[in-house]
Copies of this chain bind each other. A is one copy, B any other.
Amino acid sequence: MSEQPELTVQGWGPGSSRVATVAEPGDAAEGSLELTRDPDLATALPKAARRHLAGELGWEPRPTPPVAVADIRLAPSRLPADVHDALVALLGADHVRTDREARLRRAGGKSYLDLLRRREGDASDAPDAVVLPGSTEQTAALLALCAEHGVVVVPFGGGTSVVGGLSGMDPDDRPSLSVDLSRMAALTDVDVASSLVTAGPGMRGPALEEALGAHGLTLGHLPQSWEYATLGGYAATRSAGQSSTGVGRFDDLVAGLTLATPSGVLELGHPPASAAGPDLLGLALGSEGALGIITGLRLRVRPAPRARLYEGWSFRTWADGLAGLQRLARHDLLPDVVRLSDPDETRANLLNAGGTGARLLRGVLRARRRGEGCLLVVGWEGLPQVVRARRRAVLAVLREHGAARVGRRVGESWRRHRFAAPYLRDRLMDAGLLVETLETAATWTALPAVYDAVRTALQRSLGRPGKRPLLMTHVSHGYATGASLYVTVLADRDDDLPLQQWLTAKRAATEALLAAGGTLTHHHAVGADHRPWLEREVGPLGVEVLRAVKARLDPQGICNPGVLLPD
């Protein structure tokens, strides 16, 4: 493989970012607090891609660097002394931190809005202190303590929320704690026969996969934030990974979990399945810290795949591509990874692709008298004979829908660079760009209308004379009943009102996708950013049910009050 020409087919999405990355606890250096490294766009984007972007967007690359870390404004900690002392008595002095660096590192997540605020030197959303509990019992005790003293708690895993999940906003403006779960990050039980493992909420994907690898197992949950995001965060936000079409959403991989709440500890889930009343595990999934803190997870794992096959295909049109996927979906034939890019994303990816590989791919498409069309990346993992049989069934359908094979190199390149895109964001922002993503899902029937509605809304909202946004969309997850849409937005930033520019566009896109039948969010969660629309999704009585559950588990409303439920 290493002798073949390199081809880089990247996405552009966030999900994580290098800004103020939190290193493993206990690291002496804990990584750099620099807001950006390697700010030279020229080394990051091929010239053709920069030219394409400038032409598409009406964008003039310009230096718009973030403020220096030393200049970020941070208010003094408001944690009352008696609460501080009680926390030290509970957790030990090493695990109660009020220093500037600890607080800055847990301020906000990785949304464009979060990054904008911090680049401008605003860390007003930083917690008043950071605590690191080491067990379910310590977490439950700290929640009881905070409930008693009126201190807000915001769980912190990887810090990769892109929907304001760490905002810590509180209508009563009480002091707030960031509850960092990185001390609870071990694999504590492996039941190979039952394909079940038990792990701490602070464990990250790479560490988990390494530990599982020793047993010949894998979890297979690979969102773009995989290098930083944690198991507890996946569960709290109902994450989906890049292979979720095959292995299932994170919801499907959670067989049980422990939720510490101010009112006590819930042990939920009974694998393999139960009919003993309503599904309480499903209430903890997606609870985003608003009902309590996840302190342990029982996960469904599988044997490490013996075969892995990724390849690229090209459809002539977006409609052809959707029709082909829908057909596969109906017959339960979808591969484990399915990623169909629309024409704008396909073109941008080809321009962004470096090396002779991209030239080769463009050559293949030309030789077949095709335009750039729509690129499909498909992947299978598992037992060799099953991978072969599943693939054979798929190829026939793809060909019937006019797709042409463009080879394994494209698929393998996507797989190797699957976590790379977020690293580009800081450099694009440094050069004056708005960069953000949004996502939704809809039934196969509603999907084309949702796609059109979102694009039209964003084009109208972000278009100005001589300027227009670049909207790159792909189907990222397929289901029998529909699929998700993932939209990456690039636009020339409004340097005067950058927050307002995106808030307006996001509002327009959200209203449009809801009206067309899309869901508010397919895998980014509600956070602070989607709160105003939760009622549109579940109805006023649905919101009231959630409020009733929260009132029972968190009567003082200290659990992440800035997310999920509308004011």
The one of B193, B445, B483, B534 in contact with A444, judged by C-beta atoms closer than 8 angstroms, is: B193
Point out which of A525, A549, A564 has the most chain B C-beta atoms below 10 A from its C-beta.
Answer: A549
The proximity string for A residues 161-203 relative to B, scoring 1 for CB distances below 8 Å and 0 otherwise, is 0000000000000000000000000000001011110000000
A415 to chain B, nearest CB (A): 21
Say whether A308 faces chain B, with CB atoms less than 8 Å apart. no
The one of B267, B288, B479 in contact with A272, judged by C-beta atoms closer than 8 angstroms, is: B479
Residues of B within 8 A of A272 (CB): 441-443, 479-484
The one of B268, B275, B480 in contact with A302, judged by C-beta atoms closer than 8 angstroms, is: B480
A92 to chain B, nearest CB (A): 28
Given the known inter-chain contacts A275-B521, A484-B273, please indicate yes or no for A194 contacting B443, CB distance below 8 A: yes
Say whether A284 faces chain B, with CB atoms less than 8 Å apart. yes
Residues of B within 8 A of A282 (CB): 278-279, 281-283
Given the known inter-chain contacts A193-B444, A552-B548, please indicate yes or no for A303 contacting B330, CB distance below 8 A: yes
Residues of B within 8 A of A480 (CB): 195, 272, 300, 302
Say whether A539 faces chain B, with CB atoms less than 8 Å apart. yes
Say whether A404 faces chain B, with CB atoms less than 8 Å apart. no
The proximity string for A residues 521-551 relative to B, scoring 1 for CB distances below 8 Å and 0 otherwise, is 1111110001000100111111011111101
State whether B194 touches A277 (Cβ < 8 A): no
The one of B286, B382, B443 in contact with A275, judged by C-beta atoms closer than 8 angstroms, is: B286
Say whether A264 faces chain B, with CB atoms less than 8 Å apart. yes
Residues of B within 8 A of A483 (CB): 272
Chain-B contact segment, one of A52-60, A151-159, A206-214, A386-394:
A386-394
A84 to chain B, nearest CB (A): 29
Residues of B within 8 A of A263 (CB): 541, 544
Say whether A332 faces chain B, with CB atoms less than 8 Å apart. yes
Residues of B within 8 A of A249 (CB): 273
Say whether A477 faces chain B, with CB atoms less than 8 Å apart. yes
In the bound complex, what is the Cα–Cα distance between A525 and B278 (angstroms)?
A: 10
Say whether A102 faces chain B, with CB atoms less than 8 Å apart. no
Given the known inter-chain contacts A191-B445, A274-B522, please indicate yes or no for A541 contacting B196, CB distance below 8 A: no
Say whether A519 faces chain B, with CB atoms less than 8 Å apart. yes
Chain-B contact segment, one of A29-37, A236-244, A343-351, A456-464:
A236-244
State whether A276 touches B479 (Cβ < 8 A): no
A288 to chain B, nearest CB (A): 7
The proximity string for A residues 361-389 relative to B, scoring 1 for CB distances below 8 Å and 0 otherwise, is 00000000000000000000011011001
Say whether A255 faces chain B, with CB atoms less than 8 Å apart. yes
State whether B275 touches A534 (Cβ < 8 A): no
In the bound complex, what is the Cα–Cα distance between A551 and B545 (angstroms)?
A: 10
A161 to chain B, nearest CB (A): 12
Say whether A266 faces chain B, with CB atoms less than 8 Å apart. yes
Given the known inter-chain contacts A272-B443, A444-B194, please indicate yes or no for A564 contacting B277, CB distance below 8 A: yes
Given the known inter-chain contacts A393-B383, A443-B191, A479-B272, please indicate yes or no for A277 contacting B538, CB distance below 8 A: yes
Please name 14 pairs of A and B residues whose Cβ atoms are closer than 8 Å in the assembled complex, sorted by A: A193-B444, A193-B445, A195-B329, A263-B544, A264-B540, A267-B539, A270-B537, A271-B443, A275-B522, A278-B285, A279-B282, A389-B393, A548-B549, A548-B551
Closest 4 CB pairs between A and B? A279-B282, A282-B282, A389-B389, A272-B479
